[in-house]
Structure 1
Amino acid sequence: MNRRKLLRASTAIGAAGAMAGVTAAPAAAAPVQPVQETGGPLRVHIVMYDGVEELDFAAPYEVFSAARFFTDREIDVRYVTASGPGAVQAAYGTKVRVEHGWAPRTADVLVVPGGGYARHEGPGVRAEIARGTLPRALASAVRPGLTVSAVCTGTMLLSAAGLTKSRPCTTHHKARPDLEQQGGLLKNARVVDDGDLVTAGGITSGLDLALWLVRRELGADVATGVEVMLEYEARGTVWTPPAPRPR
Protein backbone atom coordinates (compact mmCIF):
# COMPACT_ATOMS: atom_id res chain seq x y z
CA MET A 1 0.00 0.00 0.00
CA ASN A 2 1.49 3.38 -1.00
CA ARG A 3 1.75 6.32 1.41
CA ARG A 4 -1.31 8.13 0.02
CA LYS A 5 -3.51 5.06 0.38
CA LEU A 6 -2.15 4.40 3.85
CA LEU A 7 -2.98 7.94 4.96
CA ARG A 8 -6.43 7.68 3.39
CA ALA A 9 -7.10 4.35 5.07
CA SER A 10 -6.01 5.74 8.44
CA THR A 11 -8.31 8.72 7.98
CA ALA A 12 -11.18 6.44 7.01
CA ILE A 13 -10.66 4.31 10.10
CA GLY A 14 -10.67 7.45 12.24
CA ALA A 15 -13.84 8.66 10.56
CA ALA A 16 -15.54 5.33 11.10
CA GLY A 17 -14.53 5.44 14.76
CA ALA A 18 -15.92 8.93 15.11
CA MET A 19 -19.18 7.83 13.55
CA ALA A 20 -19.39 4.88 15.92
CA GLY A 21 -19.12 7.21 18.89
CA VAL A 22 -21.95 9.51 17.83
CA THR A 23 -25.01 9.43 20.09
CA ALA A 24 -28.05 7.80 18.53
CA ALA A 25 -30.44 10.16 16.76
CA PRO A 26 -33.76 11.01 18.40
CA ALA A 27 -36.71 8.78 17.61
CA ALA A 28 -38.26 11.58 15.55
CA ALA A 29 -35.41 11.53 13.03
CA ALA A 30 -36.18 10.08 9.61
CA PRO A 31 -34.95 6.48 9.33
CA VAL A 32 -32.14 5.68 6.92
CA GLN A 33 -33.46 3.61 4.06
CA PRO A 34 -31.35 0.52 3.31
CA VAL A 35 -29.68 0.43 -0.09
CA GLN A 36 -30.08 -2.72 -2.12
CA GLU A 37 -26.72 -4.02 -3.29
CA THR A 38 -26.57 -4.73 -7.01
CA GLY A 39 -23.58 -7.07 -6.74
CA GLY A 40 -21.65 -5.25 -9.44
CA PRO A 41 -19.39 -2.22 -9.16
CA LEU A 42 -20.67 1.35 -9.19
CA ARG A 43 -19.13 2.71 -12.39
CA VAL A 44 -18.66 6.48 -12.53
CA HIS A 45 -17.39 8.22 -15.66
CA ILE A 46 -16.34 11.87 -15.34
CA VAL A 47 -16.34 13.66 -18.69
CA MET A 48 -13.26 15.72 -19.56
CA TYR A 49 -12.60 18.34 -22.24
CA ASP A 50 -10.26 21.30 -22.75
CA GLY A 51 -11.23 24.24 -20.54
CA VAL A 52 -13.02 22.14 -17.92
CA GLU A 53 -13.02 23.68 -14.42
CA GLU A 54 -10.54 21.94 -12.09
CA LEU A 55 -12.84 21.85 -9.05
CA ASP A 56 -15.77 20.64 -11.12
CA PHE A 57 -14.05 17.38 -12.04
CA ALA A 58 -11.70 16.91 -9.07
CA ALA A 59 -14.35 17.22 -6.36
CA PRO A 60 -16.62 14.42 -7.67
CA TYR A 61 -13.58 12.24 -8.34
CA GLU A 62 -12.44 12.70 -4.73
CA VAL A 63 -15.87 11.99 -3.24
CA PHE A 64 -16.56 8.84 -5.24
CA SER A 65 -13.02 7.56 -4.67
CA ALA A 66 -13.24 8.18 -0.92
CA ALA A 67 -16.54 6.29 -0.77
CA ARG A 68 -14.58 3.05 -1.33
CA PHE A 69 -13.52 3.14 2.32
CA PHE A 70 -17.09 2.93 3.60
CA THR A 71 -18.71 0.26 1.44
CA ASP A 72 -18.01 -3.30 0.39
CA ARG A 73 -19.24 -2.49 -3.10
CA GLU A 74 -16.53 -1.89 -5.67
CA ILE A 75 -16.40 1.63 -7.09
CA ASP A 76 -14.76 2.33 -10.43
CA VAL A 77 -14.15 6.05 -11.05
CA ARG A 78 -12.49 7.18 -14.25
CA TYR A 79 -12.02 10.20 -16.49
CA VAL A 80 -13.29 9.83 -20.06
CA THR A 81 -13.37 11.99 -23.18
CA ALA A 82 -15.64 11.95 -26.21
CA SER A 83 -12.60 12.27 -28.46
CA GLY A 84 -10.67 9.30 -27.08
CA PRO A 85 -7.70 8.98 -24.71
CA GLY A 86 -5.26 11.86 -24.55
CA ALA A 87 -4.25 14.97 -22.63
CA VAL A 88 -6.78 17.59 -21.51
CA GLN A 89 -5.83 21.09 -20.34
CA ALA A 90 -8.20 22.44 -17.70
CA ALA A 91 -9.32 26.04 -17.12
CA TYR A 92 -6.35 27.05 -14.97
CA GLY A 93 -3.73 25.17 -16.95
CA THR A 94 -3.79 21.81 -15.17
CA LYS A 95 -2.96 19.03 -17.63
CA VAL A 96 -4.70 15.71 -17.10
CA ARG A 97 -3.85 12.53 -18.94
CA VAL A 98 -7.16 10.80 -19.73
CA GLU A 99 -6.63 7.10 -20.33
CA HIS A 100 -10.19 6.08 -21.16
CA GLY A 101 -12.34 6.78 -24.18
CA TRP A 102 -16.07 7.27 -24.47
CA ALA A 103 -17.98 4.24 -23.17
CA PRO A 104 -21.27 5.31 -21.52
CA ARG A 105 -22.77 1.85 -21.95
CA THR A 106 -20.32 0.62 -19.33
CA ALA A 107 -21.21 3.41 -16.85
CA ASP A 108 -23.84 3.73 -14.14
CA VAL A 109 -23.24 7.45 -13.54
CA LEU A 110 -21.99 10.02 -16.02
CA VAL A 111 -20.72 13.29 -14.50
CA VAL A 112 -20.37 16.32 -16.78
CA PRO A 113 -18.31 19.15 -15.22
CA GLY A 114 -18.60 22.77 -16.33
CA GLY A 115 -16.02 25.40 -17.17
CA GLY A 116 -15.51 28.35 -19.47
CA TYR A 117 -19.16 29.21 -20.12
CA ALA A 118 -18.42 32.88 -19.48
CA ARG A 119 -15.69 32.79 -22.13
CA HIS A 120 -16.99 33.38 -25.64
CA GLU A 121 -13.53 32.66 -27.00
CA GLY A 122 -11.20 29.84 -26.05
CA PRO A 123 -11.78 26.35 -24.68
CA GLY A 124 -14.65 25.39 -22.41
CA VAL A 125 -18.37 24.68 -22.46
CA ARG A 126 -19.21 27.18 -25.20
CA ALA A 127 -16.46 25.83 -27.45
CA GLU A 128 -17.71 22.26 -26.90
CA ILE A 129 -21.27 23.31 -27.72
CA ALA A 130 -20.10 25.01 -30.91
CA ARG A 131 -18.04 21.97 -31.89
CA GLY A 132 -21.00 19.68 -31.31
CA THR A 133 -19.12 16.43 -30.69
CA LEU A 134 -19.71 16.23 -26.95
CA PRO A 135 -23.41 17.26 -27.01
CA ARG A 136 -24.09 14.62 -29.65
CA ALA A 137 -22.23 12.01 -27.61
CA LEU A 138 -24.24 12.93 -24.50
CA ALA A 139 -27.52 12.77 -26.39
CA SER A 140 -26.75 9.27 -27.66
CA ALA A 141 -25.53 8.08 -24.26
CA VAL A 142 -28.97 8.07 -22.64
CA ARG A 143 -30.28 4.61 -21.80
CA PRO A 144 -32.16 2.85 -18.98
CA GLY A 145 -29.94 2.38 -15.95
CA LEU A 146 -27.68 5.36 -16.64
CA THR A 147 -27.82 8.49 -14.48
CA VAL A 148 -26.60 11.57 -16.36
CA SER A 149 -25.44 14.33 -14.02
CA ALA A 150 -23.80 17.73 -14.38
CA VAL A 151 -21.89 20.19 -12.22
CA CYS A 152 -22.37 23.95 -12.61
CA THR A 153 -22.33 24.97 -16.29
CA GLY A 154 -21.90 21.35 -17.31
CA THR A 155 -25.71 21.48 -17.34
CA MET A 156 -25.48 23.72 -20.41
CA LEU A 157 -23.79 20.87 -22.26
CA LEU A 158 -26.73 18.66 -21.30
CA SER A 159 -29.06 21.42 -22.50
CA ALA A 160 -27.24 21.54 -25.84
CA ALA A 161 -27.77 17.76 -26.03
CA GLY A 162 -31.52 18.24 -25.50
CA LEU A 163 -31.49 16.43 -22.15
CA THR A 164 -32.84 19.21 -19.91
CA LYS A 165 -35.81 20.37 -21.97
CA SER A 166 -38.99 20.22 -19.85
CA ARG A 167 -36.96 18.62 -17.03
CA PRO A 168 -36.27 20.05 -13.55
CA CYS A 169 -32.63 21.18 -13.44
CA THR A 170 -30.20 23.85 -12.26
CA THR A 171 -26.86 25.40 -13.18
CA HIS A 172 -24.51 28.27 -12.29
CA HIS A 173 -26.52 31.39 -11.41
CA LYS A 174 -25.19 33.35 -14.40
CA ALA A 175 -26.27 30.64 -16.83
CA ARG A 176 -29.77 30.17 -15.40
CA PRO A 177 -31.51 32.54 -17.83
CA ASP A 178 -30.01 30.62 -20.77
CA LEU A 179 -31.07 27.30 -19.26
CA GLU A 180 -34.67 28.51 -18.86
CA GLN A 181 -34.72 30.00 -22.33
CA GLN A 182 -33.63 26.64 -23.72
CA GLY A 183 -36.54 24.88 -22.06
CA GLY A 184 -35.15 23.66 -18.74
CA LEU A 185 -37.47 23.80 -15.73
CA LEU A 186 -35.18 25.77 -13.43
CA LYS A 187 -35.28 24.88 -9.72
CA ASN A 188 -33.68 27.12 -7.10
CA ALA A 189 -31.83 24.32 -5.33
CA ARG A 190 -28.22 23.30 -4.81
CA VAL A 191 -28.86 19.86 -6.33
CA VAL A 192 -31.83 18.84 -8.47
CA ASP A 193 -32.55 15.12 -8.65
CA ASP A 194 -35.03 14.17 -11.36
CA GLY A 195 -34.21 10.48 -11.37
CA ASP A 196 -31.91 9.76 -14.29
CA LEU A 197 -31.02 13.47 -14.58
CA VAL A 198 -29.20 15.09 -11.64
CA THR A 199 -27.78 18.60 -11.84
CA ALA A 200 -26.04 20.96 -9.41
CA GLY A 201 -25.53 24.73 -9.41
CA GLY A 202 -22.42 26.60 -8.32
CA ILE A 203 -18.67 26.17 -8.70
CA THR A 204 -18.27 24.12 -5.51
CA SER A 205 -21.44 22.10 -6.09
CA GLY A 206 -19.51 19.11 -7.40
CA LEU A 207 -18.97 18.09 -3.77
CA ASP A 208 -22.69 18.24 -3.05
CA LEU A 209 -23.71 16.50 -6.27
CA ALA A 210 -21.30 13.63 -5.63
CA LEU A 211 -22.24 13.30 -1.95
CA TRP A 212 -25.92 13.16 -2.90
CA LEU A 213 -25.29 10.49 -5.53
CA VAL A 214 -23.17 8.51 -3.04
CA ARG A 215 -26.04 8.71 -0.56
CA ARG A 216 -28.57 7.69 -3.21
CA GLU A 217 -26.54 4.82 -4.66
CA LEU A 218 -24.63 3.56 -1.61
CA GLY A 219 -26.58 4.76 1.41
CA ALA A 220 -26.54 7.52 4.02
CA ASP A 221 -23.89 5.82 6.18
CA VAL A 222 -21.42 5.85 3.28
CA ALA A 223 -22.12 9.51 2.49
CA THR A 224 -21.73 10.46 6.15
CA GLY A 225 -18.44 8.60 6.33
CA VAL A 226 -17.13 10.50 3.32
CA GLU A 227 -18.23 13.81 4.86
CA VAL A 228 -16.31 13.05 8.04
CA MET A 229 -13.25 11.94 6.10
CA LEU A 230 -13.21 15.04 3.89
CA GLU A 231 -14.27 17.35 6.75
CA TYR A 232 -17.07 18.74 4.61
CA GLU A 233 -20.82 18.74 5.22
CA ALA A 234 -23.12 18.72 2.21
CA ARG A 235 -24.82 22.09 1.88
CA GLY A 236 -27.95 23.41 0.27
CA THR A 237 -31.28 21.88 -0.62
CA VAL A 238 -31.68 18.79 -2.77
CA TRP A 239 -34.81 19.11 -4.90
CA THR A 240 -36.64 15.87 -5.65
CA PRO A 241 -40.04 15.35 -7.27
CA PRO A 242 -42.94 15.51 -4.79
CA ALA A 243 -44.14 12.11 -3.64
CA PRO A 244 -47.62 11.10 -4.82
CA ARG A 245 -50.24 12.02 -2.26
CA PRO A 246 -52.07 9.05 -0.75
CA ARG A 247 -55.68 8.72 -1.83
Structure 2
Amino acid sequence: MKRRTLLRSATALGAAGLAAGASPHSATAAPSRRGDDPPFRVQVVLFDGVEELDLAAPYEVFAASGHFTDRTVDVRYVALDGPRTVTAAFGTALRAEHAWAPEEADLLVVPGGGYARREDPGVWAEIRRGALPKALAKAPRPGLTISALCTGVMLLSAAGLTDGRPCTTHHRARQDLEQQGGRVKNARVVDDGDLVTAGGVTSGLDLALWLTRRELGTDAALGLESMLEYETRGTVWTPPPGPA
Protein backbone atom coordinates (compact mmCIF):
# COMPACT_ATOMS: atom_id res chain seq x y z
CA MET A 1 0.00 0.00 0.00
CA LYS A 2 2.84 2.43 0.85
CA ARG A 3 4.47 1.67 -2.50
CA ARG A 4 1.23 2.41 -4.35
CA THR A 5 0.87 5.71 -2.49
CA LEU A 6 4.42 6.65 -3.36
CA LEU A 7 3.90 5.84 -7.02
CA ARG A 8 0.67 7.80 -7.17
CA SER A 9 2.36 10.81 -5.54
CA ALA A 10 5.24 10.68 -8.00
CA THR A 11 2.98 10.48 -11.03
CA ALA A 12 0.81 13.29 -9.69
CA LEU A 13 3.88 15.51 -9.56
CA GLY A 14 4.57 14.57 -13.15
CA ALA A 15 1.00 15.42 -14.11
CA ALA A 16 1.36 18.77 -12.42
CA GLY A 17 4.12 19.47 -14.93
CA LEU A 18 1.48 19.52 -17.66
CA ALA A 19 -0.08 22.52 -15.99
CA ALA A 20 3.33 24.20 -15.75
CA GLY A 21 3.73 24.36 -19.51
CA ALA A 22 4.81 20.94 -20.73
CA SER A 23 4.06 20.11 -24.34
CA PRO A 24 0.47 18.94 -24.90
CA HIS A 25 1.90 16.00 -26.83
CA SER A 26 3.00 14.56 -23.48
CA ALA A 27 -0.61 13.64 -22.83
CA THR A 28 -0.50 11.04 -25.57
CA ALA A 29 3.02 9.98 -24.65
CA ALA A 30 2.23 8.84 -21.10
CA PRO A 31 3.88 5.56 -20.12
CA SER A 32 1.99 2.62 -21.58
CA ARG A 33 0.18 0.43 -19.06
CA ARG A 34 -0.53 -3.25 -19.52
CA GLY A 35 -4.14 -3.55 -18.45
CA ASP A 36 -6.95 -5.65 -19.77
CA ASP A 37 -8.96 -2.60 -20.83
CA PRO A 38 -8.42 -0.84 -24.16
CA PRO A 39 -7.16 2.76 -24.14
CA PHE A 40 -9.64 5.48 -23.23
CA ARG A 41 -9.53 7.81 -26.24
CA VAL A 42 -10.57 11.44 -25.78
CA GLN A 43 -10.79 14.07 -28.51
CA VAL A 44 -11.24 17.76 -27.64
CA VAL A 45 -12.60 19.76 -30.58
CA LEU A 46 -10.95 23.06 -31.53
CA PHE A 47 -12.32 25.84 -33.75
CA ASP A 48 -11.55 29.53 -34.19
CA GLY A 49 -13.03 31.57 -31.33
CA VAL A 50 -13.14 28.65 -28.88
CA GLU A 51 -12.93 29.74 -25.23
CA GLU A 52 -9.52 29.01 -23.70
CA LEU A 53 -10.77 27.73 -20.33
CA ASP A 54 -13.51 25.69 -22.02
CA LEU A 55 -10.91 23.57 -23.76
CA ALA A 56 -8.01 23.70 -21.30
CA ALA A 57 -9.82 22.45 -18.19
CA PRO A 58 -11.18 19.21 -19.72
CA TYR A 59 -7.92 18.62 -21.60
CA GLU A 60 -5.82 18.85 -18.44
CA VAL A 61 -8.17 16.68 -16.39
CA PHE A 62 -8.22 13.89 -18.96
CA ALA A 63 -4.49 14.20 -19.73
CA ALA A 64 -3.64 13.91 -16.02
CA SER A 65 -6.18 11.14 -15.40
CA GLY A 66 -3.83 8.59 -16.90
CA HIS A 67 -1.62 9.00 -13.83
CA PHE A 68 -4.40 7.74 -11.56
CA THR A 69 -5.56 4.65 -13.43
CA ASP A 70 -4.04 1.49 -14.86
CA ARG A 71 -5.84 2.18 -18.13
CA THR A 72 -4.03 4.06 -20.88
CA VAL A 73 -5.61 7.46 -21.61
CA ASP A 74 -5.03 9.12 -24.98
CA VAL A 75 -6.10 12.79 -25.24
CA ARG A 76 -5.95 14.79 -28.45
CA TYR A 77 -6.90 18.18 -29.80
CA VAL A 78 -8.69 17.76 -33.13
CA ALA A 79 -10.04 20.21 -35.69
CA LEU A 80 -12.58 19.52 -38.40
CA ASP A 81 -10.29 20.85 -41.12
CA GLY A 82 -7.11 19.98 -39.25
CA PRO A 83 -4.37 19.50 -38.48
CA ARG A 84 -4.09 23.27 -38.21
CA THR A 85 -3.62 26.20 -35.85
CA VAL A 86 -6.72 27.90 -34.44
CA THR A 87 -7.01 31.25 -32.69
CA ALA A 88 -8.98 31.09 -29.45
CA ALA A 89 -11.36 33.73 -28.07
CA PHE A 90 -8.68 35.75 -26.28
CA GLY A 91 -6.03 35.39 -28.96
CA THR A 92 -4.23 32.21 -27.90
CA ALA A 93 -2.83 30.29 -30.86
CA LEU A 94 -3.49 26.56 -30.46
CA ARG A 95 -2.28 23.75 -32.64
CA ALA A 96 -4.62 20.86 -33.37
CA GLU A 97 -2.20 18.14 -34.41
CA HIS A 98 -4.94 15.68 -35.35
CA ALA A 99 -7.72 15.70 -37.92
CA TRP A 100 -11.39 15.07 -37.19
CA ALA A 101 -11.82 11.36 -36.45
CA PRO A 102 -14.70 10.65 -34.04
CA GLU A 103 -14.69 7.04 -35.20
CA GLU A 104 -11.36 6.73 -33.33
CA ALA A 105 -12.67 8.20 -30.05
CA ASP A 106 -14.53 6.95 -27.01
CA LEU A 107 -15.31 10.49 -25.87
CA LEU A 108 -15.74 13.69 -27.87
CA VAL A 109 -15.57 16.99 -25.94
CA VAL A 110 -17.00 20.12 -27.60
CA PRO A 111 -16.09 23.43 -25.91
CA GLY A 112 -17.91 26.71 -26.47
CA GLY A 113 -16.88 30.29 -27.11
CA GLY A 114 -17.95 33.49 -28.80
CA TYR A 115 -21.69 33.06 -28.25
CA ALA A 116 -22.14 36.64 -27.02
CA ARG A 117 -20.38 38.08 -30.09
CA ARG A 118 -22.33 36.86 -33.08
CA GLU A 119 -20.12 38.47 -35.71
CA ASP A 120 -16.83 37.17 -34.29
CA PRO A 121 -15.31 33.71 -34.66
CA GLY A 122 -16.86 31.17 -32.32
CA VAL A 123 -19.99 29.09 -31.94
CA TRP A 124 -22.27 31.35 -34.02
CA ALA A 125 -19.73 31.46 -36.87
CA GLU A 126 -19.47 27.66 -36.82
CA ILE A 127 -23.26 27.31 -36.86
CA ARG A 128 -23.49 29.69 -39.83
CA ARG A 129 -20.71 27.85 -41.64
CA GLY A 130 -22.51 24.59 -41.03
CA ALA A 131 -19.63 22.15 -41.47
CA LEU A 132 -19.01 21.38 -37.80
CA PRO A 133 -22.70 20.82 -36.90
CA LYS A 134 -23.04 18.51 -39.92
CA ALA A 135 -19.97 16.56 -38.85
CA LEU A 136 -21.27 16.32 -35.28
CA ALA A 137 -24.63 15.06 -36.57
CA LYS A 138 -22.84 12.18 -38.30
CA ALA A 139 -20.61 11.33 -35.34
CA PRO A 140 -22.90 9.28 -33.04
CA ARG A 141 -22.24 5.53 -32.98
CA PRO A 142 -22.29 2.77 -30.38
CA GLY A 143 -19.42 3.22 -27.93
CA LEU A 144 -19.01 6.96 -28.42
CA THR A 145 -20.04 9.49 -25.78
CA ILE A 146 -20.50 13.02 -27.08
CA SER A 147 -20.08 15.73 -24.48
CA ALA A 148 -20.12 19.50 -24.55
CA LEU A 149 -19.85 22.36 -22.13
CA CYS A 150 -20.91 25.96 -22.00
CA THR A 151 -22.12 27.20 -25.40
CA GLY A 152 -20.47 24.26 -27.13
CA VAL A 153 -23.79 22.58 -26.34
CA MET A 154 -25.36 24.93 -28.89
CA LEU A 155 -23.22 23.28 -31.57
CA LEU A 156 -24.75 19.96 -30.54
CA SER A 157 -28.16 21.60 -30.69
CA ALA A 158 -27.46 22.85 -34.22
CA ALA A 159 -26.55 19.27 -35.07
CA GLY A 160 -29.89 18.02 -33.70
CA LEU A 161 -28.19 15.98 -30.97
CA THR A 162 -29.97 17.61 -28.01
CA ASP A 163 -33.49 17.53 -29.46
CA GLY A 164 -35.74 15.88 -26.88
CA ARG A 165 -32.77 15.01 -24.68
CA PRO A 166 -31.99 16.17 -21.11
CA CYS A 167 -29.17 18.73 -21.35
CA THR A 168 -27.80 22.01 -20.04
CA THR A 169 -25.58 24.89 -21.18
CA HIS A 170 -24.36 28.33 -20.09
CA HIS A 171 -27.18 30.09 -18.24
CA ARG A 172 -27.43 32.81 -20.90
CA ALA A 173 -28.03 30.23 -23.63
CA ARG A 174 -30.50 27.98 -21.79
CA GLN A 175 -33.55 29.67 -23.29
CA ASP A 176 -32.15 29.19 -26.80
CA LEU A 177 -31.39 25.55 -26.06
CA GLU A 178 -34.91 24.94 -24.78
CA GLN A 179 -36.50 26.70 -27.76
CA GLN A 180 -34.47 24.43 -30.03
CA GLY A 181 -35.90 21.30 -28.43
CA GLY A 182 -33.53 20.51 -25.58
CA ARG A 183 -35.03 19.36 -22.25
CA VAL A 184 -33.01 21.78 -20.14
CA LYS A 185 -32.11 20.69 -16.61
CA ASN A 186 -30.93 23.09 -13.91
CA ALA A 187 -27.81 21.08 -13.11
CA ARG A 188 -24.07 21.59 -13.35
CA VAL A 189 -23.66 18.42 -15.42
CA VAL A 190 -26.37 16.41 -17.20
CA ASP A 191 -25.52 12.80 -17.97
CA ASP A 192 -27.93 11.17 -20.40
CA GLY A 193 -25.72 8.23 -21.27
CA ASP A 194 -24.07 8.86 -24.63
CA LEU A 195 -24.83 12.60 -24.34
CA VAL A 196 -23.25 14.52 -21.46
CA THR A 197 -23.50 18.30 -21.19
CA ALA A 198 -22.38 20.92 -18.68
CA GLY A 199 -23.06 24.56 -17.82
CA GLY A 200 -20.84 27.63 -17.99
CA VAL A 201 -17.10 27.97 -18.54
CA THR A 202 -15.68 26.50 -15.32
CA SER A 203 -18.05 23.53 -15.47
CA GLY A 204 -15.54 21.93 -17.83
CA LEU A 205 -13.71 20.79 -14.71
CA ASP A 206 -16.84 19.15 -13.33
CA LEU A 207 -17.74 17.59 -16.68
CA ALA A 208 -14.30 16.04 -17.00
CA LEU A 209 -14.13 14.88 -13.38
CA TRP A 210 -17.57 13.28 -13.66
CA LEU A 211 -16.65 11.46 -16.87
CA THR A 212 -13.35 10.39 -15.34
CA ARG A 213 -15.26 8.91 -12.42
CA ARG A 214 -17.76 7.24 -14.76
CA GLU A 215 -15.20 5.79 -17.16
CA LEU A 216 -12.07 5.31 -15.04
CA GLY A 217 -13.40 4.96 -11.51
CA THR A 218 -13.81 6.96 -8.32
CA ASP A 219 -10.17 6.60 -7.25
CA ALA A 220 -9.02 8.32 -10.43
CA ALA A 221 -11.43 11.22 -9.85
CA LEU A 222 -10.33 11.56 -6.23
CA GLY A 223 -6.69 11.59 -7.24
CA LEU A 224 -7.36 14.34 -9.76
CA GLU A 225 -9.26 16.44 -7.22
CA SER A 226 -6.28 16.22 -4.88
CA MET A 227 -3.78 17.09 -7.59
CA LEU A 228 -5.85 20.00 -8.91
CA GLU A 229 -6.81 21.19 -5.38
CA TYR A 230 -10.40 21.36 -6.65
CA GLU A 231 -13.54 19.80 -5.25
CA THR A 232 -16.32 18.90 -7.65
CA ARG A 233 -19.08 21.51 -7.68
CA GLY A 234 -22.80 21.29 -8.27
CA THR A 235 -25.21 18.49 -9.01
CA VAL A 236 -24.95 15.86 -11.71
CA TRP A 237 -28.33 15.03 -13.22
CA THR A 238 -28.79 11.41 -14.25
CA PRO A 239 -31.95 9.66 -15.43
CA PRO A 240 -34.16 8.22 -12.69
CA PRO A 241 -33.82 4.45 -12.34
CA GLY A 242 -36.24 2.40 -14.35
CA PRO A 243 -38.56 -0.26 -12.93
CA ALA A 244 -36.78 -3.14 -11.22
TM-score, normalization: structure 1?
Answer: 0.85
CA distance in 1, matches of 2:233, 2:14: 23
CA distances 1:68-115 after superposition (whole Å, capped 9, x unpaired): 111110000000011121100000000011110000000000000000
CA contact (8 A) 1:104 1:141 kept: yes
- The structure-2 alpha-carbon separation of the partners of 1:229 and 1:174, relative to structure 1 and needing over 3 Å to count, comes to same
- The structure-2 alpha-carbon separation of the partners of 1:222 and 1:159, relative to structure 1 and needing over 3 Å to count, comes to same
Which one-letter code corresponds to 1:154 in the other structure?
Answer: G
Residue in structure 1 matched with residue 41 of structure 2 by the alignment = 43
Residue in structure 2 matched with residue 69 of structure 1 by the alignment = 67
Counterpart among 118, 121, 125 of residue 119 in structure 2:
121
Per the TM alignment, residue 11 of structure 1 is displaced from its structure 2 partner at its CA by: 6.5
Larger Rg: 1
CA contact (8 A) 1:11 1:229 kept: no
After superposition, residues 60-209 of structure 1 pair within 5 angstroms as 60-209=58-207
Per the TM alignment, residue 245 of structure 1 is displaced from its structure 2 partner at its CA by: 3.8
Residue in structure 2 matched with residue 53 of structure 1 by the alignment = 51
Matched residue of 1:76: which SS? strand
Q: Which has the higher contact order (CA 8 A, sep 6+)?
A: 1
- The structure-2 alpha-carbon separation of the partners of 1:80 and 1:132, relative to structure 1 and needing over 3 Å to count, comes to same
Which one-letter code corresponds to 1:12 in the other structure?
Answer: A
Matched residue of 1:12: which SS? helix
State whether structure 2 residue 209 is matched by structure 1 residue 224: no
Matched residue of 2:135: which SS? helix
Runs of at least 4 residues of structure 1 off by over 3 A?
8-11
Per the TM alignment, residue 13 of structure 1 is displaced from its structure 2 partner at its CA by: 6.5
Per the TM alignment, residue 146 of structure 1 is displaced from its structure 2 partner at its CA by: 0.2
CA contact (8 A) 2:11 2:67 kept: no
CA distance in 2, matches of 1:13, 1:155: 33
Per the TM alignment, residue 221 of structure 1 is displaced from its structure 2 partner at its CA by: 0.6
CA distance in 1, matches of 2:242, 2:147: 24
CA contact (8 A) 2:41 2:73 kept: yes
CA distance in 2, matches of 1:38, 1:54: 35
Residue in structure 1 matched with residue 5 of structure 2 by the alignment = none
Q: How many residue pairs are counted as aligned between the two chains?
A: 218
RMSD, aligned CA? 1.7
Per the TM alignment, residue 38 of structure 1 is displaced from its structure 2 partner at its CA by: 6.1
Residue ranges of structure 1 left out of the alignment (5+ in a row): 1-7, 16-36
Residue ranges of structure 2 left out of the alignment (5+ in a row): 1-7, 16-34
CA distance in 2, matches of 1:14, 1:131: 40
Per the TM alignment, residue 163 of structure 1 is displaced from its structure 2 partner at its CA by: 0.1
CA contact (8 A) 1:167 1:185 kept: yes
Which one-letter code corresponds to 2:51 in the other structure?
Answer: E
Which one-letter code corresponds to 2:97 in the other structure?
Answer: E
TM-score, normalization: structure 2?
Answer: 0.86
